[in-house]
Structure 1
């Protein structure tokens, strides 16, 4: 990705925004048509890498805002700045550029090699600014120092220094020491801004243009001066460390050590400048996102659907949401996510006709979640809509009754199991249904005689069922008025024969 250009148009937005639908979440996209801000959750299908997305409302191309609103302020990352040069890549670059000239041959070849390595180190330091401004909080690779274009940055920086020096000279000639001192102070204050502009735009003219420098500083505001204070402290620390090395170590060690320390502190400075650009990207007119450790993921089309549901719900478009879910269930009739979303919406809206229409799938979804409370609520609504309501699926009736029993809705569970042998005389769910009815009567309602009647029915009518062998034990528990335990083989009965043999 190329270096973003720092814009100076005065109409660029300088206010950070939250998502319209998720207040508190930083906006990542802005639609110029409907003036709506969206976060990443609202735009799961956006092409972040290429900065492209269409507004879900008006389908206009949107502006990418980057990570500016969620970036940690630079003053909270001081420790990370000082650790930055000690990653493998920058350490190797510094070591090569510092120690290789010591073992290089003398003469013109050695001078040429040293010059090339100086250019490589300067190029790498400026790459640090660009790389950090683009959202990389880890250093650029070694190749950034020795390959590709950009070696001319050292020449450009020298030209900037020459022009700034000439400005100071002119000030001394026409205004004397007082004006010269004031000019030096202004030049030093603007130097970090000049370096940032030169790194991003590769233009000497822009780097010394007072209008550009003032614009950059004013857009960042007071944090620029705070960073300037940190930079002064880092420069002083660098000078003290180099002076210590030159004073207390022999020449053969002190010079390369001083050079190593100088390069290390320079990378810290440039990383801080790049991070300041990254933090205030929106004010400066470009967009970048955190990119380290961000592996590309395959887009899930269902996330776009969920985002549209969420936005329509928050806009109060409940009929549209209901239609969207019904269409989705036509394509995927057994999708548990969509069934659950439709169930939640229909229950909230008390839409009895639609609840009746979709009740088999909704009850199955509630049974899978063992949500007997909401199941009881739904069954009440269905019976109010149709007093003669009954489930026509024996397996679903047993599953729902079990969920109701576990939720303590004993009468509602018994109602689902009422006349089960008449309604489903040939069903393999008859034994599980009446054993469950016995449990409800015994454990839930303490009606031991009726529980025994259901168990006796199973003993006589379901002799071939795998659960039949447990009936005698249950009858003994009923005689002693002891709680009936959950049938241990209730789910094994539904397994195919090979599976049961393996578990046995």
Structure 2
């Protein structure tokens, strides 16, 4: 059953808190450990139940193309090539027979590993070593025992009830065979794989989709048989054997991958949880980003209407990191939305510096107007900050706010090194922005008179000439000539 996140409707939930009865998605739980399936509820701090990726898994009928591509990855292709070609290269003696038998076991072991690997959330095939190393070869013997028991069951039905009952039992066994294979791959138990109750529960929990899967499996089997028959009818026997072995192995891997994906898709109904393992980078679970947890807490508190709580969280964070641009931006947005002008005034030095760093002149003009409403005639106390803000406002076309900031700059900050650049910016705002060439000329003349020792002094004549000609004040042109 699909559950949506409480805070992000439309996002599939991956965690559920039984105490709060809340569902959370990955965005709400950036610090959760998906590999260990462990997370604490942000509300009550209790351990939550992991729902896995079933809620966001694509239905298997929409992944038909991926199923057909699955055997053509490097590892499964190597397994198929080894198990198909090696027996043909060995002469028909006892050694060749033993090698062929071992390779058949390896191929079958790999196909059953595909089911479990896919059910655990790995959409990429298992590595080549899985087929030839380690334990797991017993799965083939277990599957043979399952077939023997199912055959015995069909035979017993024929002996007790005649051909009709035998046909009915055979139909039921064939119908339950995919479910039996899935149970055996996951539990490695013959008793579980032939238990009618287990198989009935599995089929009932998957529902009508099981029969849709069954139809796909029949089509795959028919396609595999037709392709092999075509190979034997149109190619030489030696080449036909190679093609038939390749096709049989390929279609088997497709079939088993599809069975594993069905388990992955209906994991919640079947009582386990797994996630897309191939998407997480190694070591990611050890390097959780605390800032993402903080952002998630802010997001949830905002949606719950806990604005005071969010404000206090941001202020505490800014005590630890006074220049954190992200937190300053969040605080500015919150205070602006709440129209908290006193707090905006209190934090204005850091907010203005943040907006200057991001060249956000339009937002800066709005902040200055808000502060002006409670502090008429407001101007920053820092000459460098004042000049930075004025330049940002000028570059964004906010000429009048820029002129307000720079007004009486020489009186407020006498002897400041920023004075020439401040009045040059003022002259540019007057001339280029408002077309007031006479006032711009007056400020440029003031800089020429008062700042004779400043490096900018040498360029003032060029600006003055541009002002007399009523040209945009852009200063001297760049030159790459070397004397």
Q: What's the TM-score bracket when you normalise by the shorter of the two chains? A: over 0.9
What does residue 457 of structure 1 align with?
A: 446
What does residue 500 of structure 1 align with?
A: none
Cα distance between partner residues in 1 of 2:467 and 2:90: 97
Q: Does 1:185 align with 2:185?
A: no
What does residue 492 of structure 1 align with?
A: none
Cα distance between partner residues in 1 of 2:65 and 2:370: 61
What does residue 301 of structure 2 align with?
A: 312
Change in Cα spacing, 1:436 to 1:170, as seen in structure 2 (3 Å) is same
Q: Does 1:299 align with 2:288?
A: yes
Q: Cα offset for 1:486?
A: 7.0
Cα distance between partner residues in 2 of 1:488 and 1:141: 64
Q: What is the number of residues matched between the two proteins?
A: 478
Q: Deviations over 1:183-218 (max 9, x none)?
A: 111111111111001100111111111121111111
Cα distance between partner residues in 2 of 1:98 and 1:291: 30
Q: Cα offset for 1:250?
A: 3.0
Change in Cα spacing, 1:345 to 1:293, as seen in structure 2 (3 Å) is closer
Q: Does 1:47 align with 2:33?
A: yes
Q: Cα offset for 1:306?
A: 0.9
Alignment of 1:274-289 (within 5 A): 274-289=260-275
Q: Does 1:92 align with 2:78?
A: yes
Instruction: Give 5+ residue unaligned stretches, structure 2.
Output: none
Alignment of 1:21-420 (within 5 A): 21-104=7-90, 106-296=92-282, 297=284, 298-420=287-409
Instruction: Give 5+ residue unaligned stretches, structure 1.
Output: 1-14, 490-503
Give yes or no for contact 2:462–2:475 (8 Å, CA) kept in 1.
Answer: no
Of 416, 427, 430, the match for 2:419: 430
What does residue 461 of structure 2 align with?
A: 472
Provide the secondary structure at the position in 2 that maps to 1:116.
Answer: helix
Give yes or no for contact 2:390–2:405 (8 Å, CA) kept in 1.
Answer: yes
What does residue 499 of structure 1 align with?
A: none
Cα distance between partner residues in 2 of 1:430 and 1:419: 10
Q: Deviations over 1:442-464 (max 9, x none)?
A: 22222222111111100101112
Give yes or no for contact 2:463–2:475 (8 Å, CA) kept in 1.
Answer: no
Q: Deviations over 1:383-406 (max 9, x none)?
A: 222224221000111111222223
User: In terms of mean alpha carbon deviation, does 105-114 or 377-386 score higher?
Assistant: 105-114
Q: Cα offset for 1:105?
A: 5.1
Q: Deviations over 1:151-172 (max 9, x none)?
A: 1111111111111112211221
Q: Deviations over 1:129-180 (max 9, x none)?
A: 0111111112111111111111111111111111111221122122222222
Provide the secondary structure at the position in 2 that maps to 1:292.
Answer: helix
Alignment of 1:437-452 (within 5 A): 437-452=426-441
Cα distance between partner residues in 2 of 1:313 and 1:433: 41
Q: Cα offset for 1:429?
A: 0.6
User: In terms of mean alpha carbon deviation, does 137-146 or 256-265 score higher?
Assistant: 256-265
What does residue 4 of structure 1 align with?
A: none
Cα distance between partner residues in 2 of 1:379 and 1:256: 79
Q: Cα offset for 1:38?
A: 1.2
Give every structure 1 segment of 4 or more consecutive aligned residues whose post-TM-superposition deviation is greater than 4 Å. Answer: 486-489
